[in-house]
Amino acid sequence: MKPSASSKYDSVSRAFHWITALAVTVAFVLGPERFGRLMRDGVDPATRLDIVWHESLGIFVFFATLLRLLWVLFRPAAPKFDMASWMKLASQGTHIVLWALLLATPFTAVMALGTESHPLTLLGGIRINELPWTQQLPFSEAADWGDVHQFLGDAIVWLAGLHAVAALYHHYVVKDGVLRSMMPGKAR
């Protein structure tokens, strides 16, 4: 990694950030309430565009996050800002938890579908009717994975909201450029 004197994140990192934020938001809004109940009532998820988009965006978020983590290894150095040590620690902790949630939330969705024998339905007519590997995992019966997925989905939205409020605080109160570092456009 080469050091960067830029006051902004590189364009790839910014694109990953905003595309992920959009995908998570849309997936959350489209998230079907009580998906398992719909399936038990005989609803074919392929007939519900909200379910297809929700599942497709979830898979997209999972793989985009893996690519994003790989990019972090090779990207130019992230901008550095002078801030109180408690702010830096809170920022680092929030980012670690957000990264974990971006991976765990889609994983728990697949666990829920697989352990409840529901198909995974994606855009383009892709349908995976069985995910038997989920039932073979030693922890497959450790939880109601649908409930875990819903909890993590709520948690990621709350934490992302807190993350946004912190960015606005930095912009309007601290005035340190943290928000501008992730906004589109060229560095000054």
Per the model's pLDDT, the better-predicted residue between 95 and 35 turns out to be 95
Residue at 86 is within a domain? yes
Distance CA 105, CA 107 (A): 5
**In this model, does residue 1 exceed pLDDT 60?**
no
The whole-number average pLDDT for the span 124-147 is 87
**In this model, does residue 138 exceed pLDDT 50?**
yes
> Whole-number mean pLDDT of the chain?
89
pLDDT band at 187 (very low <50, low <70, confident <90, very high): low
The whole-number average pLDDT for the span 114-139 is 88
Domain count, the chain: 1
Does residue 86 contact residue 106 with C-beta atoms inside 8 Å?
no
Distance CA 176, CA 88 (A): 13
Looking at residue 137, its pLDDT comes to 85
Residue at 67 is within a domain? yes
Does residue 181 contact residue 16 with C-beta atoms inside 8 Å?
no
Domain that holds residue 41: 11-179
The whole-number average pLDDT for the span 36-55 is 85
Residue at 186 is within a domain? no
pLDDT band at 2 (very low <50, low <70, confident <90, very high): very low
Taking the whole predicted model, whether its pTM rises above 0.85 is answered as yes
pLDDT band at 188 (very low <50, low <70, confident <90, very high): low
Distance CA 4, CA 160 (A): 26
**In this model, does residue 4 exceed pLDDT 60?**
no
Residue at 1 is within a domain? no
pLDDT band at 71 (very low <50, low <70, confident <90, very high): very high
